[in-house]
Chain A
């Protein structure tokens, strides 16, 4: 098996995110930790795979709520949003952003960080510390849907709905920056998101309608 393993390492093209970060070494990881974000860091007591993993306590401001979470430096923002548990024992449980490609290729995990759309699978949680994070769950104002959400429903700009949270957040971000986009600008603004059901034409209409509603 030893030889087999070596062969695999040479030939296989699959690199796990964790394996990659382990390979970078703790120095590189530490360098990505914003000092202000670091509440405290400690050696994980339960690291059993032979590598001591540093954990960091950080504060995440998500949809106007603040959560203190303890994360390994490699933990992505997406992972915390979906599966994280804060230090008070509360599940974050924001599963609107989807884990689809986990490599920044499809836009299904798009959230806003300080008003900018980002792929939450490509941002480490520690890099989001202290910033304002808005997920699709945070767009509606109580029972009042955000105009983009309303327009998506009105225009049936979704089929299976799996890419929809990402498209909704990306569309909102586009309109935040450019309240009256042309069709070409809409296409450009949403080109980082994939809809396999091919609902694009309805999505363009929804964005135009939302633009009108938002005064664009």
Chain B
């Protein structure tokens, strides 16, 4: 795969298949779904961050003539401590159920306690007042280091720390502690001439997908449950609902509607089991929609974290050792992305000696969830800021330093895996060669910063079926919900195999009964793995079509080849047919052709990015303005370059928001004070410069077209790059996110 290949479709920029639907308002998202007899559900949520639920009395609500069903945790099958297999990860079933409807304790403000369905959403909302809940309010713990203290209030009385496989005797808020080691850390630091160590704090941030969560469920009397929802993974919803309601997966059909953003936050279920229970009780379809405050208060933010980084280097700029301590807030139940953070923190570098400790800690906040390269942004904010300080101490160009120490094929990460062919150094070189890097930056309080980032990407399972149509087009059936243009990038990979234009592929995302098992649209896996399945399904079609051509020409299949979009007879007979011509004649030789493939590819190839940013800081207000931004990234092979650029710009935009503005603000009682878009401020057009993108292509040997996942890594470098730029502008090192005006003034000693 090392040589550059020529492609006809891969690398072009066809118009997306769903473009017209989406600009005309016709595309149907979960909340747009309608059906006859629909009831509307609403969820009663705890206003306490930590409270024991002493009793729930639903009788007044049940007596309301327009209320058709009321449910509480008592309606869930008894959830004993049991490990639920969710395919990708194992989760304690009791935690999974309790997060849907709290049983014994409410563990965060916004925690669902009960729900009801009524004839219209307004009646449902008002009828919630008729549910009486008696709480015993407990003190909340809202910060990871406080939660780790011995005398901290305990969220789960039975939670023991899993410390490297050993269970602790005492209960704790620390769900787990793990460690990665490479080489010998003491020797490494002994060899260092310069050692820098700092600690860092990052705030709680929301994925901010603008489409609120939604679910409509219909529970038929025969026990067949259908769910329409906006999700990153219909099969993931099926699996979770099956575990929570204790019904077989075969009884659950999930219909994925269009999805208005997810970024990792639309993998866990919230409303789906609730809508199902309400439908079961009422005998009617039930739709439940969240409002924006519910999305903020009750769905997966990405965790706040405390991170300590220590790195040692020689005077000639070689890293000798790196040590990381990562403590992440899991939220109410165990399962923060600290593991992923630990996999990424030092991974852009070749480091001989390393030690990484990770802690997963429960606090009275919503259960944390994945957010674009989950854990990596927190971790690399810390590591890349320390690297910048090292470069300053050494008087070395920070990109030169990154190239000198850059990870490459054969290097092992501190957590173990050995890199295959990757483009870490190439992406950094592209940044160094970009005109932005050498461009003059004049003016007071202005500075330029750089940072790199890594995300490991995932493979997982995908299925694709292809039906050949008599007009020479193909219908492509897939299970990956399309969040950012994957209909096109997957279709293009099938088109390339069959020598047809991307426009001749009609992709459709279907329900869980209509396609083979497919994992979530997440982990930067869709263009890679579902694209791989499309490639294999198209190969299957090509093979069958070759046999049909042989039949038509009455020759042996081995005597037919497919080249440049034509089937050609190679035994001397002068026969040639295009894909389209043969498609029209399939009925003469056996009828329709259907290709299919299910894959589980593992050669994901990691993704690397390096970013350059210029900022200007207003020393009086502390406000940071982004003047110029350039992002480089190794995409392996960009299937549809516009979408790769779009992912890069999108990741940078979110990264800028995380760096400068976004955070959950809690009062002392654990109530979020800014659960709206007005107060939780995400970047608008006015906050951004044009973002230059440079796609580097180091083909991934694990994919037939060299594709690597691209979606997540671009969010990783921005906070560190901006922190480093702020340092160059005003001479202060920012060690807390977000770097909001107040924090900047405080760090400058002005507040």
Listed in ascending order, the chain A residues whose CB lies under 8 Å from chain B are 1, 4-5, 8, 11-14, 16, 18, 48-49, 82, 91, 93-103, 105-106, 108, 135-137, 139-140, 145, 149, 152-154, 156, 158-165, 168, 186-188, 190-204
Contact = CB atoms under 8 A, between A and B. Distances in A.
Given A11-B671, A140-B24, A156-B642, A100 B47 contact: no
B261 A160 contact: yes
Interface string B124-165: 011001001111000000000000000000000000000000
Contact of A160 (B24, B483, B685): B483
Contact of B688 (A97, A101, A106, A200): A200
Interface string B635-668: 0000000110010011111100000000000000
A139 B66 CA distance: 39
A97 B27 CA distance: 11
B619 to A, nearest CB: 25
Contact of B125 (A18, A103, A149, A191): A18
B26 interface: yes
Contacts of B29: 95, 98, 162
Contacts, number: 193
8 contacts: A1-B57, A1-B134, A4-B133, A99-B31, A101-B292, A149-B23, A156-B13, A165-B23
Contact of B211 (A98, A152, A153): A98
Contacts of B122: 18
A125 B445 CA distance: 50
Most chain B CB within a 10 A radius of its CB, from A91, A93, A196: A196
B484 interface: yes
A135 to B, nearest CB: 7
A36 B540 CA distance: 67
Contact of B24 (A5, A16, A136): A136
B676 A101 contact: yes
Contacts of A204: 685, 690
Contact of A202 (B65, B262, B646, B683): B646
B332 to A, nearest CB: 19
Interface string B93-130: 00000000000000000000000000000110110010
A124 to B, nearest CB: 14
List of 9 A-B pairs having minimum Cβ-Cβ separation, nearest first: A96-B25, A162-B260, A198-B653, A161-B22, A198-B650, A153-B19, A105-B677, A136-B25, A95-B32
A95 B261 contact: no
B28 to A, nearest CB: 7
A160 B678 contact: no
Interface string B202-238: 0000011111100000000000000000000000000
B19 A152 contact: yes
A195 B15 CA distance: 20
A201 B643 CA distance: 12
Interface of B: 13, 15-16, 18-29, 31-32, 34, 47, 57, 64-66, 122-123, 125-126, 129, 132-135, 207-212, 258-263, 289, 291-293, 483-485, 642-643, 646, 649-654, 669, 671, 673, 675-678, 682-686, 688, 690-691
Contact of B261 (A97, A156, A162, A165): A162
B47 A12 contact: yes
Given A160-B483, A196-B208, A96 B24 contact: yes
Contact of A105 (B125, B676, B686): B676
A198 B135 contact: no
A4 B134 contact: yes
A199 B649 contact: yes
A161 B260 contact: yes
Given A49-B126, A145-B24, 12 more contacts: A1-B133, A8-B47, A14-B293, A48-B65, A136-B24, A153-B15, A153-B19, A156-B642, A191-B686, A196-B261, A198-B649, A198-B688
Most chain A CB within a 10 A radius of its CB, from B23, B263, B669: B23
Contacts of B23: 136, 145, 149, 152-153, 158, 164-165, 168
Given A108-B210, A202-B646, A103 B676 contact: yes
Contact of B25 (A49, A95, A188, A197): A95
Contact of B20 (A153, A187, A193): A153
B24 A198 contact: no
Contacts of B210: 98, 100, 106, 108, 162-163, 194-196
Given A16-B125, A156-B646, A197 B484 contact: yes
A38 B695 CA distance: 59
Contact of B28 (A95, A145, A187): A95
B132 A160 contact: no
A96 to B, nearest CB: 2
Contacts of B132: 1
Contacts of B133: 1, 4
Contacts of B653: 198, 200
B651 A198 contact: yes
A158 B19 contact: yes
B684 A191 contact: yes
A106 B677 contact: yes
A98 B31 contact: yes
Nearest to B673: A13
A46 B234 CA distance: 39
A160 B211 contact: yes
Contacts of B690: 201, 204
A161 B65 CA distance: 39
B646 A199 contact: yes
A200 B677 contact: no
Nearest to A152: B23
B685 A191 contact: yes
Contacts of A140: 24
Nearest to A167: B23
